[in-house]
Amino acid sequence: MASSIAMRQVGRIARYTIFQPQLCVPRRALSSPAENSPLNQGPSAELSLRGLLDMGFTDTQAEHIYETVYKSRGGNTAKNTLCTLSTLIVLGLNPSSVLKLLEKCPELYTVKEARLQQRIANLRKLGLLEGSLQRVVAHHPQILIIKRKVINNAVMFLKEKCLFTSQQVTDILRDSPAIIQEDLAQIQFKFQYVYFRMGVKQAEMVKSRLFRFSLDEVRNRHCFLERRGLYETPDKKGQTTIINPKLSNILNVDQDMFVTQVAKASVEEFEVFQRLMAREYEEEDHWGDLENIKQIAPPPKKLRIDTA
């Protein structure tokens, strides 16, 4: 139903814009004293205020989009903008969401329709279906300006180097889409730290949304617990003498709750600890290399994929 409505909206804007030699201005704009405004003189036949209004944008939103395009690169940008707006609305995003998306990622104004469609199709192929796809695009629109090859390389990296299953990779993309723009070596370093040093398996990493957090955040909280005797690196058999808190309980809480409920300490203690850790990081040249982690907790002969 939503798609059919969106298609009708796109059809209306096509009729109003493609064959329209002059800009259609709403009554409020016609009555405005600013007759020399760029909004009233735009030469583009591909993009008009009337068309934007027919797509569901308010007067203010339509003027904002048109002015942004007008101040941009002119005709070619206007053509790309119309295609981009149509594609995003057909995707199921409402006009307010589309405007916020463009404000987060103005590069989308210049993306060609064919490339945009290809990238959306690729995300669907990777398992981001209706609902999940819209949320990812709305919260991290930059994923639509990244080449398919870059995204697919990151996906293969997560599967081959970190041994996540296909479904786990889809969950990571859905919950932490910004991972696509991270350096692959840093992703691997974070994975290795949590896997070897903390003894956490892939399923728990995904459940805790590990890749939303920087390695600084992860290590600070883990080491604080460890030095207070509240976290222990598992032995080769995965056993510990204490019950370690779950990774989600360590990461998915605000600082105050982490300190008081998980670490059983004061905020002041944790703040001092973080400053000391920052000094240690500098002395160790950002924590040394991966071999240091492996020496602390030697890996098993072969990592096994956690499918739980």
Instruction: Map out the domains of the chain as residue ranges.
Output: 2-111, 118-181, 201-296
Cβ(204)–Cβ(307) under 8 Å? no
**Residue 200's pLDDT is what?**
97
**Residue 46's pLDDT is what?**
62
Q: Please state, in angstroms and rounded to a whole number, the distance separating the CA atoms of residues 109 and 277.
A: 43
**Residue 230's pLDDT is what?**
98
> Can you tell me which residue has the tokens 């020399």?
36
Cβ(2)–Cβ(92) under 8 Å? yes
Residue numbers of the chain with a pLDDT score lower than 50: 1-2, 5, 10, 12-45, 287, 295-308
**Residue 308's pLDDT is what?**
38
> pTM for the whole thing?
0.77
Dihedrals phi, psi of 2, to nearest 5 degrees: -60, -40
**Residue 303's pLDDT is what?**
43
Helix runs in the chain, H state only: 2-17, 27-30, 49-54, 59-70, 75-91, 95-104, 113-125, 132-139, 148-160, 166-175, 184-192, 202-207, 215-227, 247-251, 255-257, 267-283, 290-296
